[in-house]
Amino acid sequence: KYEFQKGKPWEYENYYAPFDFAIQKTPEEIAIEKEQITKLSKHFFKYDEQIVVQVKDARNSKIEDALYNSELTETKKIELRDLALQITNDLYEFGYLESSVDI
């Protein structure tokens, strides 16, 4: 019913064995496959706007606490607030992940 040659592609519909069988791999082969999958996989992350709001609120609170009794001029305080805002915005615009993301 079927003809095939070694090294040639299968020319028929899918063929399913009438029974299950295991394909044994060595631990080294499994480790290599896992490493390849890790290197080639694309990571997808969910962006949660609520977390951004929480982080900005916490940042504002901490900055105000730090500047409350500060002897800095009002101009310097404004500069520090603006800098903190810019850093936070940059982090959320471009993102940041440590190089060893373990997913």
Single-letter residue type at 92: Y
Instruction: Give 31: exposed, middle or buried? Use CB within 10 Å, 0-12, 13-18, 19+.
Output: exposed
In the chain, how many domains are there?
A: 1
Residue 9 lies in a domain: no
Provide the pLDDT for residue 70: 87
Structural domain contains residue 36: no
| Residue-level pLDDT at 10 | 86
Q: Domain containing 68: what range?
A: 49-94
pLDDT at position 18 = 86
Rounded to a whole number of angstroms, the distance between the first and last alpha carbons of the chain is: 47
pLDDT of residue 15: 81
Residues 101 and 43: their CA atoms lie apart, in Å, by: 10
Profile the chain (103 residues) by mean pLDDT over runs of 10 residues: 86 85 92 92 82 91 89 92 91 72 57
In a domain, 44, yes or no: no
Quote the pLDDT of residue 78: 92
What pLDDT score was predicted for residue 101?
A: 56
Tell me the three state secondary structure of residue 77.
helix
Residue 65: is it exposed, middle or buried by C-beta count within 10 angstroms (0-12/13-18/19+)?
exposed
Does residue 40 fall inside a structural domain? no
- pLDDT of res. 61: 93
Q: Is the residue at 70 inside a domain?
A: yes
Q: Which two tokens stand for residue 35?
A: 């490493």
Q: 63 in a domain, yes or no?
A: yes
